[in-house]
Amino acid sequence: MKYKIGFIGLGNMASSLIEGWRNRGREGKDIIGFDIRQDRMNFVKERFGINVANSIQEVADGEIVILAVKPQDFSSIKIDIPQDIVIVSIMAGVSIKKLEEHFPNSPIIRVMPNLLCSINKSFIPFTYNDRVDKKEKELFISWFTDFGEVTEVKESLMNVMTALNGSGPGFIAYLIEAFTEASVYEGLPYEVALKLTLSIFEGTSAFLRENNISPNSFRLSVTSPGGTTSRGIWILEKAGIKGTIYDMIRLSSERARELENS
Ligand SMILES: NC(=O)c1ccc[n+]([C@@H]2O[C@H](COP(=O)([O-])OP(=O)(O)OC[C@H]3O[C@@H](n4cnc5c(N)ncnc54)[C@H](OP(=O)(O)O)[C@@H]3O)[C@@H](O)[C@H]2O)c1
């Protein structure tokens, strides 16, 4: 085989994966990609030094082919993929069953990464069909471990994984935006507010992970009676923010389910 990885679709998520691999020293010459947009092909070729294909069929000459188009564009893909190539789909809401209708005899892995792959900090949940053998699974893991922890999950959990892991960075960015803007309202310069907000999000996550402590125990330990944290938490409880976050994950999971059924 000429290449190791072939991409169909070279948009935001494909670029993020390629960047993560290049950070880890994977070679651009081992990767090829095709996109219907010439500007996307020019961009990734120039930025990451990968090969770009003149036709979609050329990407089917690697060990793994990654489907990285929007779910609604999946049915427009016309390609013959030999059965010894592992197909990896990163598309939200496209089930293994639907993928098998297009590629009936192929080993297929469904994965839900996020844009943090570009800095090698994404959790990687995956599931696969019964045509994937041990060697193919190991091949997949050896590449995707470059982004972060790779964990096998039941396919029934893929929609909530899409909400939490796929959309999660967008949700957290929204919260960071809100913390920053609220602190600007109280008088902090924007740059200072943003720097502090990033530091508390990053620092709190690291603290919980490193000390293996639950968010609830940590929060109680920093909430002194009648203090400033307690006053702030009171308004979050009164406004029902936790309930809104339940709804956010539920609605986002439902949207992934809608895509799966469309
Ligand atoms: N972005 C995320 O945070 C994220 C996270 C997890 C998973 N995903 C999944 O990753 C996939 C890609 O998302 P994205 O954000 O990277 O989308 P994107 O930026 O729109 O990239 C998709 C690219 O594929 C092109 N394309 C469409 N049909 C094609 C075809 N038949 N052959 C080759 N290229 C084709 C698109 O061109 P046009 O623009 O002309 O259509 C576009 O350049 C989606 O299925 C999404 O569910 C995304």
The Cα 159–Cα 165 span in angstroms is: 10
- The answer to whether the CB of 80 falls within 8 A of the CB of 57 is yes
Q: Which residues of the chain have pLDDT under 50?
A: none
- Which pLDDT score is estimated for 260? 85
CATH of 5-157, one of 1.10.1740.10, 3.40.470.10, 3.40.50.720, 3.40.50.300: 3.40.50.720
Ligand 1 atom with minimal separation from the 167 CA:
3
- Ligand 1 centroid to Cα of residue 127, in Å, is 20
Entry pTM: 0.94
- Which pLDDT score is estimated for 62? 87
CATH class of the region 168-261: mainly alpha
- Ligand 1 centroid to Cα of residue 68, in Å, is 5
pLDDT of 81-127, one tens digit each? Answer: 999 999 999 999 999 999 999 999 999 999 999 999 999 999 999 99
- The answer to whether the CB of 14 falls within 8 A of the CB of 73 is no
- Which pLDDT score is estimated for 189? 98
Please choose, from the candidates 56, 65, 115, the residue with its C-alpha nearest in 3D space to the C-alpha of residue 89: 65
CA 11 from centre of chain: 13
Q: Given ligand 1 and candidates 8, 35, 42, 54, which is best to mutate, with the most ligand atoms within 8 Å of its CB?
A: 35
Ligand 1 atom with minimal separation from the 169 CA:
3
- Which pLDDT score is estimated for 252? 97
Name the token pair of 31.
Answer: 């990767």
Name the token pair of 254.
Answer: 């439902």
Q: Structural domain boundaries of the chain?
A: 5-157, 168-261
- Which pLDDT score is estimated for 261? 82
- Which pLDDT score is estimated for 114? 97
3-state secondary structure of 195: helix
- The answer to whether the CB of 148 falls within 8 A of the CB of 126 is no
Residue 11 Cβ inside 6 Å of ligand 1? The answer reads yes
